[in-house]
Amino acid sequence: MSNRPRVRFAPSPTGSLHIGGARTALFNWLYARHHGGTFVLRIEDTDKERSTPENTQAILEALRWLGLDWDEGPEVGGPYGPYFQSQRMERYREVIEKLLAEGKAYRCYCTPEELERKRAQAQAEKRQYRYDRTCRDREDQPDLPYTVRLKVPLEGTIAFEDRVYGRIEVSCEALQDWIIARSDGTPVYNFVVVLDDIDMKIDLVMRGEDGLNNTPTQLTLYQALGVEPPAFAHLPFILGPDRSKLSKRHAPVSVLHYRDQGFLPDAMVNFLARIGWSYGDQEVFTREELIEKFSIENIGKTAGVFPADKLVWLNFERIRAMDPARLAERVKPFVEKAGLPLPPDDRLAWICRLQQDRAKTLVELVEISRYFFTRTPIDPKAGQKFLTGPSRELLLEARAAIEAASDVSEATMKPALEGLAAKHGVGLGKIAQPLRVALTGGTASPGIYDVIEFFGREECLRRIDEALAQFSVDSGGELA
């Protein structure tokens, strides 16, 4: 393999990018970045019925969100394009003709009915069906429809060293002269994949475990074309908690779903990397660390179970550790989506700083911060408890302290409010809680001095006055 390896991710756009595909993409990307190689993105859209441009766009969007940039492929182009299989039909046809001309492939005139009969017979005799090569040495029949089959060696073995699974060997007898082009002339999947990997000079094919069964068949084509095959590494499936292949039944599998739920791409990348790959018992990795530490040797042979709660934990940790200004950039779209007014950047970063150790997702961060963006209704129970009766008296005094203070920084407010508490012989909570309810509408928020400072004197006074006006003096509150 060259020391600047070329790898590829080759999704079929029959749906959006799912967790398993994203992990395959990530491992290829990490491999390319680790070795200073090239990450190629190829869209395998030969299944015309199920492939849509919308799905392609959704896949590109998910890859971009994950930060898995491709060096060659859709939108960026490259020397071996086009990178859409549907645009490479001419090339496939040309190679099929060449294989026919060289006698490495042949036209098969067997009708579907004949083949079905033979298959049924094999089944009745409890034999595994293999095409019996009736047409391998048959004369050309100019007027009959035909498929094109590859001449697979009659004996010997096809073997390869999978970089994850080790040596895999299949006897040629177990293979058959497979169809490379259907009767309408269209090439089959195993054919186009090989051609693309050859034309795009791929050195290592890293793909899902489901590709393992196809590999011996694909190798017969490399052989027929006289081309040295790439290396292969197959990735064990990701499993659900019941140890069956991860599917929608277990958890949402679309990558964009996680974006929309407020997960950070770095958390997702960290999470995906750890499914089936390990580095000692390290769990938390930056992107740079993953690039540095990634190696195929550390991919496990046994499938990884999808640890959904680990994603939540990683996201929580990542949100906490993020620079508030950068976090604010990520949070912005969620503020807009929640229909809340977007504050100036520095104010948004301030909110993030106050809340970043309380939220598991960006959606949650915005949800618990609504009162910072706008006035929110006061929780009636909290209002009843803290804005009436004796609590109200303390709130009025706290209001006066805010009004009279030279500024509303913690350095000024702390002695003022503590002095008030001492004067009444109560704990600071008895002052802070009514203030909190008046300022935020509820009983949970960041520290009271942070809240006061964020709003500033005027807004504090306005919120307190409004709150007091909403709850009457003697509606039965108590000094809780």
> Is there binding between residue 193 and ligand GLU (CB under 6 A)?
yes
Cβ of 25: how many Cβ atoms within 10 Å? 26
Q: Nearest approach, Cβ of 188 to ligand GLU (angstroms)?
A: 13
Dihedral sign for Cα 356, 359, 363, 365, please: negative
Segment near ligand GLU (CB under 6 A); pick from 9-17, 108-116, 160-168, 314-322: 9-17
Query: Radius of gyration over alpha carbons of the chain, in Å?
Result: 32
**Minimum separation from the CB atom of position 24 to ligand GLU (A):** 7
Q: Which is nearer to ligand GLU, 229 or 442 (CB)?
A: 229
Whichever of 197 and 453 has its CB closer to ligand GLU, that residue is: 197
Candidate list 44, 45, 177, 203; residue touching ligand GLU; CB under 6 A: 44
**Number of residues forming the site for ligand GLU (CB under 6 A):** 7
**Dist. CA 346–CA 194, nearest whole Å:** 53
SS3 for 251? Answer: coil
**Taken in order 7, 188, 178, 224, is the CA torsion positive or negative?**
negative
Q: Candidates 6-14, 30-38, 223-231, 410-418: pick the segment binding ligand GLU (CB under 6 A).
A: 6-14
Q: What distance in Å separates the CA atoms of residue 29 and residue 21, rounded to the nearest whole number? A: 12
What's the Cα-to-Cα distance from 447 to each of 254, 378, 428, 433, rounded to whole Å?
38, 18, 12, 10
Cβ at position 235, least distance to ligand GLU in Å? 10
* Footprint (CB under 6 A) of ligand GLU, residues 208-267: 211
- Contact code string over 200-219 relative to ligand GLU, x by CB under 6 A: -------x---x--------
Q: According to CB under 6 A, which residues from 149 to 168 bind ligand GLU?
A: none
Active site residue 381: no
Interaction between residue 10 and ligand GLU (CB under 6 A):
yes
For residues 272 and 269, what is the distance between their CA atoms, to the nearest angstrom?
5
Q: Least CB distance from residue 212 to ligand GLU, whole Å?
A: 11
Token pair 């003709």: residue: 97
- The Cα–Cα gap between 13 and 84 comes to 10
Query: Measured from the CB atom, is 30 or 439 closer to ligand GLU?
Result: 30
383 binds ligand GLU (CB under 6 A): no
Buried b / exposed e along 445-472 (16+ C-beta atoms within 10 A): bbebbebbbbbeeeebeebbeebbeebe
Task: Find residue 231's DSSP bridge partners.
Answer: 204
Give phi and psi for 195, each to the nearest 5: -60, -45
Sign of the Cα pseudo-torsion (176, 207, 193, 119, in order) = positive
For ligand GLU, the closer CB: 190 or 440: 190
For residue 364, state whether it binds ligand GLU (rule: CB under 6 A).
no
Question: Of the listed 248, 301, 381, 414, which one is catalytic?
Answer: 248
What the block records as the tokens of 450 is 């942070």
Torsions phi, psi for 62 (to 5 deg) = -65, -40
Q: Which of 7, 12, 239, 350 binds ligand GLU (CB under 6 A)?
A: 12
Give the CB-nearest residue to ligand GLU: 207
Of 45 and 453, which has the nearer Cβ to ligand GLU?
A: 45
Q: Which amino acid is at 107?
A: R
Whether 136 and 106 have beta carbons less than 8 Å apart is answered as: yes
CB of 74 to ligand GLU, least distance (A): 14
Residues near 72 by beta carbon (within 8 Å), at least 6 away in sequence: 38, 39, 40, 41, 78, 79, 80, 81, 83, 200
Specify the residue, 211 or 240, whose C-beta has the smaller distance to ligand GLU. Answer: 211
Residue 62 lies near ligand GLU (rule: CB under 6 A): no
Q: How far is the CB of 303 from ligand GLU (least distance, A)?
A: 16
Binding mask 63-82 for ligand GLU (x = CB under 6 A): --------------------
11, 216, 230, 434: residue in contact with ligand GLU (rule CB under 6 A): 11
Specify the stretch interacting with ligand GLU by CB under 6 A; choose among 7-15, 180-188, 273-281, 305-313: 7-15
> Which residues are identified as catalytic?
248
- Chain residues in the site for ligand GLU (CB under 6 A): 10-12, 44, 193, 207, 211
